[in-house]
């Protein structure tokens, strides 16, 4: 295990001196951070959720885990508490909701806990929750699942539900929020239902199957596909799902939707190799999300290639699209090493210059702290760069992504988590999670101790702020005291496991998540 911690990067990147990421803590505190044991807090959180959060409400009990709990009573609220800053009410679960799409790092942490502790009950509980989710939330009309940005399963009413309303009538809108990390797993365990979901995305979510135009919003309960809101991030998720389904079934039905969407985005690239984020908002480019489309296309290409057909045309189309997105993203004037700026997360498509999501005003850069709807943190985009770098062979493109990744890691290492007592910037739980994972990734690639020290310090700060009392559950954000899955506590749990693993050299390597986008 020592050799894993000492491994060197396989690309040449000049490093700043360790002094440039000097930790703003005294030596005694730094030493304490370096030996701190994070496994107990992760385990206590999971134990509390399995004891108090597994469905026991309503006529039918399931293995699904509730998404919101009162940290003090460990019971559901009678009414929703105030949301974290930047969260939309329509994106939240209700007080008895369970949203599997927003809890994927929770399940991943549970599987890893079984690997680390040898206690199978964690993995068994995660598996049962996932299986019940697929079996109970699939629409009989469309095959779509009750998860994502707007849907959840109401554990008390035993039905798919939403907080989004229109003219006081409930509208059940399906939109994948986070990359479906467990789709391959579900293909193995529940193939019929999972394949039906993949078909449902093509049949009921793509408004124009000739051009590939679609809306990220699809009706869960009836056929009513729309166009005009063809977000690149959601396109990447669907390409991932269809390619995984093709790899298992070898059914040519799933090749066509991949080709249609990949062709659509290849044709939408402008002369700068930048993409409008969707068809309804011209001259607006989300660079961070475009990289996630490249990530999904690269992985999908490998599922169409084989030893017998190494030049598969679908694989070539996907690789060409991913490489074109690389050219556009890397040509933008990102400044991840500058804590006042960061990545150009959103830009004008025609110039690559920063553009705020709401218009031509200031903004457009990633934020160091202060996540919310329509925002991305510097650590999140840096993790996209890290994962894209890991996909690529040695060369200039890989090196360019590597430079951006390490510049961001150095900048994040030079910050501290804002304190709740300051009551200025609200920070979601996912934010320190992404920051810690970034520092762990940088340590693994370079072997530089300063990155691990930064991860250890950020982990200690996160534990102090998100577990400030005797409750085993973390806060939703610095300024919101409830436990709430949508703010990404599961990413923070995974990150604590990752830094724990590097600090104590456990024989289980914790993955670096990239599903928070």
Of 390, 410, 488, which Cα lies nearest the Cα of 455?
410
- Alpha-carbon Rg for the chain, nearest whole angstrom, is 22
Is-contact 83 477, C-beta < 8 A? Answer: no
Cα torsion at 392, 396, 401, 406 (round to 10°)? 120
The whole-angstrom separation of Cα 111 and Cα 489 is 16
Could you identify the residue written with the tokens 């700026």? 341
pLDDT of residue 23: 37
Residue 194 C-beta-side C-alpha neighbours within 13 Å: 23
b (16+ CB within 10 A) / e for 106-115: bbbbbbbbbe
Is residue 177 in a domain?
no
At 65 the three-state DSSP class reads strand
* 47: exposed, middle or buried (Cβ count in 10 Å: 0-12, 13-18, 19+): middle
The pLDDT, as a whole number, for residue 113 is 97
> Among 264, 336, 334, which residue's Cα sits nearest to residue 293?
264
- Residue 58 sits at φ, ψ, to 5 deg, of 80, 180
- Classify residue 136: in a domain, yes or no: no
What integer pLDDT is reported at residue 424 of this predicted model? 75
Question: Model-level pTM?
Answer: 0.92
Q: How far apart are CA 172 and CA 277, in angstroms?
A: 24
- Dihedral angle sign, alpha carbons of residues 488, 493, 496, 501: negative
CA distances from 210 to 196, 232, 259 (A): 21, 17, 11
Number of H helices, E strands in the chain: 16, 11
Token pair in block for residue 96: 């008895």
Tokens representing 76? 């559901």
Compute the half-sphere exposure of residue 373: CA atoms within 13 Å on the CB side of its CA: 12
Q: How many domains does the chain have?
A: 1
- Give 488's contacts (C-beta < 8 A, 6+ positions apart): 105, 428, 429, 430, 431, 433, 516
How far apart are the C-alpha atoms of 332 and 352, rounded to whole Å?
6
* Distance (Å, whole) CA 62 – CA 52: 13
Residue 329 CB-half CA count within 13 A: 29
Q: Show the beta-strand stretches assigned E in 298-364.
A: 346-347
Identify which of 125, 153, 131 has the alpha carbon closest to the alpha carbon of residue 47: 125
Give the position of tokens 């830094």.
Answer: 499
Asked if residues 384 and 291 have their Cβ atoms less than 8 Å apart, the reply is yes
In a domain, 427, yes or no: yes
Query: Does the residue 284 lie in any domain?
Result: no
Report whether 446 contacts 9 (CB < 8 A).
yes
Successive 10-residue mean pLDDT values, the chain, 517 residues: 35 33 44 79 98 97 98 97 92 96 97 97 98 98 96 97 66 93 96 98 97 96 95 96 96 97 97 95 94 97 81 95 98 95 95 83 83 88 98 98 98 88 83 98 97 97 96 97 97 97 94 90
Which helix (H) or strand (E) segment is 251 a member of? none
The span from the CA of 3 to the CA of 76, in Å, is 46
Secondary structure class of 390 (helix, strand, coil): helix
Q: Which residues span the domain enclosing 66?
A: 1-113+366-372+395-517
Q: Is residue 28 part of a domain?
A: yes
Phi, psi of 218, deg, nearest 5: -125, 145
CA 508 – CA 130 distance, rounded (Å): 23
Long-range contacts of 349-357 (CB under 8 A, 24+ apart): 349/270, 349/272, 349/274, 349/275, 349/276, 349/282, 349/283, 349/284, 349/285, 350/270, 350/272, 350/274, 350/283, 351/272, 352/272, 352/274, 352/285, 352/328, 355/283, 355/284, 355/285, 357/284
Reported in sequence order, the residue ranges of 378-505 that DSSP labels E, i.e. its strands, are 483-484
């Amino acid at each position: 295990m020592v050799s894993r911690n000492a491994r060197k990067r396989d690309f040449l990147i000049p490093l700043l001196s360790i002094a440039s990421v000097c930790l703003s803590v005294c030596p005694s505190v730094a030493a304490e951070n370096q030996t701190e044991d994070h496994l107990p807090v992760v385990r206590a959180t999971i134990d509390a959720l399995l004891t108090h959060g597994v469905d026991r409400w309503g006529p039918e009990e399931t293995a699904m885990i509730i998404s919101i709990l009162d940290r003090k009573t460990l019971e559901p609220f009678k009414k929703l508490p105030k949301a974290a800053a930047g969260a939309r009410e329509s994106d939240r679960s209700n007080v008895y909701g369970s949203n599997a799409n927003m809890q994927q790092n929770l399940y991943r942490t549970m599987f890893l806990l079984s690997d680390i502790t040898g206690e199978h009950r964690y993995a068994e509980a995660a598996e049962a929750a996932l299986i019940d989710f697929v079996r109970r939330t699939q629409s009989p009309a469309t095959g779509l699942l009750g998860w994502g940005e707007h849907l959840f399963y109401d554990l008390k009413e035993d039905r798919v539900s939403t907080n989004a309303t229109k003219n006081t009538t409930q509208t059940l809108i399906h939109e994948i929020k986070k990359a479906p990390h467990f789709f391959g797993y579900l293909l193995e365990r529940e193939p019929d239902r999972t394949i039906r979901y993949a078909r449902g995305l093509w049949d009921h979510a793509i408004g124009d199957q000739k051009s590939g135009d679609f809306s990220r919003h699809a009706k869960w309960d009836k056929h009513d596909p729309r166009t005009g809101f063809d977000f690149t991030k959601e396109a990447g998720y669907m390409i991932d799902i269809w390619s995984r389904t093709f790899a298992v079934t070898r059914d040519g039905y799933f090749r066509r939707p991949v080709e249609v969407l990949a062709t659509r985005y290849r044709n939408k690239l402008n002369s700068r190799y930048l993409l409008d984020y969707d068809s309804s908002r011209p001259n607006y480019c989300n660079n961070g999300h475009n990289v996630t489309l490249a990530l999904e296309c690269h992985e999908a290409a490998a599922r169409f290639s084989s030893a017998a057909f190494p030049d598969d045309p679908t694989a070539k189309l996907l690789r060409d699209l991913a490489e074109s997105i690389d050219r556009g993203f890397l040509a933008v004037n990102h400044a991840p090493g500058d804590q006042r700026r960061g990545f150009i997360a959103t830009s004008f498509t025609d110039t690559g210059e920063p553009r705020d999501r709401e218009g031509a005003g200031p903004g457009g850069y990633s934020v160091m702290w202060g996540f919310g709807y329509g925002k991305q943190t510097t650590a999140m985009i840096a993790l996209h760069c890290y994962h894209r770098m890991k996909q690529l062979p040695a060369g200039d493109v890989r090196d360019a992504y590597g430079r951006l990744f390490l510049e961001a890691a150095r900048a994040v290492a030079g910050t501290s988590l804002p304190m709740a007592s300051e009551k200025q910037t609200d920070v979601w739980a996912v934010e320190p999670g992404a920051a810690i994972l970034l520092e762990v990734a940088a340590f693994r690639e370079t072997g530089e101790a300063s990155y691990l020290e930064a991860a250890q310090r950020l982990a200690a700060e996160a534990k102090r702020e998100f577990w400030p009392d005797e409750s085993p559950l973390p806060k939703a954000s610095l300024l919101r005291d409830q436990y709430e899955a949508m703010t990404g506590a599961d990413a923070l749990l995974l990150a604590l496991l990752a830094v724990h693993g590097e600090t104590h050299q456990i024989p289980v390597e914790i993955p670096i998540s990239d599903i928070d986008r």
